[in-house]
Amino acid sequence: MALKETLLKAFAQNRKVALYAAGAGVALFGLGLGYKYMQKPKKLTQVGIVSQLILHPLKSGKGLQVAKAECLRMGLKHGELRDRHWLVIREDGRMVTARQEPRLVLVTMTAEGEDICLNAPDMEELKVPQHQPNNNILNCKVFTADVQGRDCGDEVSRWLTRYLAAGKTVRMVHYEPQMKPRKCNQVERPFPPDEEVAYPDAGPIMLLSEASLRDLNSRLDKDVTVAQYRPSIVVNDCEAFSEDSWDDIQIGTVRMKRVMACGRCILTTVDPETGINNSKEALDTLKSYRLCDPSDKKVYGKAPLFGQYYIVKQTGTLHVGEPVYKISY
């Protein structure tokens, strides 16, 4: 009798476990079906083609056009060069850009093996090791935000100081992955709090269309070039300012999300071929028709809008000639 009761009790317990397991399975299956049918399908619509990829390794330096580039969370990378990962500073650590020294736009930085090469008009080429781990790490400021950089050495300092001929000593620093980055929202509030950059003004990727540039040039007496606006990605085969509405895009395997427009400043009036700032154009013309909506003045102020900032949601490699897709859900 005792054996019979024991067997019945064990069966009842196992039956309860089986029922619980079956119930959990049905629930999980239902959740899976619900997710599948509640999630809106993703739709890709081609909106343009990548016509240029441009790196600016040295902040305010000359742009380098490349056929392909890695698109990382902190911007474009080509070989050993990463976008805006080198910075000219004063001795107190404050950044120096073409706003203060317009001739910086004529400085070219390239890579050769493990060296970086600096070139500028009327200057001999300077080659120095890209990595100098024994050099000091300096505290720097980009606008009001704190950031770090590895000093690139006295030879670079003398070369840049002589070239700029501003009567003040300058140095160059290099951002390394282990260093303290800048939070994008320290400069521009619309950026998510987890987005970080090295030395760009605001965000990791800036996109501009050729059609928008043509629209601007149609209003000017003298054409300007894309070099004055320093984008990372240039897109063709689209309407002027259509990039203003591309909230989510995909290029190859790379996915990006638009955060805000790029508010333009006096830097765009520096001629990228001469390094001279002797005109208020095309800034004045942009102000005549590309100001923000009054509700956004807290973000943009009086700056005209030209190009769009993106953050990288899925990294990968970009190629010139690839289609650009707008993602909709």
38-47, 158-167, 274-283: least confidently modelled range: 38-47
Contact present, 50 and 251 (Cβ < 8 Å):
yes
- Of 174, 202, 265, 186, residue with least CA distance to 75: 202
- pLDDT for the residue 26: 41
CA distances from 160 to 103, 185, 208, 248 (A): 11, 31, 30, 40
Residue percentage of the chain with pLDDT more than 90? 80
Q: Give domain status of residue 12, yes or no.
A: no
CA distances from 126 to 109, 136, 158, 166 (A): 10, 20, 11, 20
Q: Give domain status of residue 287, yes or no.
A: yes
C-alpha 290/C-alpha 216 separation (Å) is 10
pLDDT in tens, 277-317: 878 999 999 999 999 999 999 999 999 999 999 999 999 99
Q: Are strands 205-209 and 233-236 parallel, antiparallel or unpaired?
A: parallel
C-alpha 188/C-alpha 211 separation (Å) is 26
Q: Give domain status of residue 299, yes or no.
A: yes
- pLDDT for the residue 5: 54
Q: Give domain status of residue 11, yes or no.
A: no
Q: Give domain status of residue 130, yes or no.
A: yes
Q: Give domain status of residue 234, yes or no.
A: yes
Mean pLDDT estimate for the chain: 89
Tell me: pLDDT of 64 over 60: yes
Q: Give domain status of residue 129, yes or no.
A: yes
Tell me: pLDDT of 28 over 50: no
Work out how many domains the chain is built from and give that number.
Answer: 1
* Residue ranges making up the domain that contains 219: 44-328
CA count, 13 A, side-chain hemisphere, 111: 18
Q: What is the CATH number of the domain that holds 98?
A: 2.40.33.20
Q: Give domain status of residue 133, yes or no.
A: yes
Contact present, 158 and 135 (Cβ < 8 Å):
no
Q: Which two tokens stand for residue 9?
A: 């009790």
Tell me: pLDDT of 11 over 80: no
Contact present, 311 and 74 (Cβ < 8 Å):
no
Confidence of residue 38 (pLDDT cuts 50, 70, 90): very low
Tell me: pLDDT of 318 over 90: yes
Confidence of residue 187 (pLDDT cuts 50, 70, 90): confident
**Other Cβ atoms closer than 10 A to 104:** 25
- pLDDT for the residue 37: 39
Q: Which two tokens stand for residue 90?
A: 């004063």
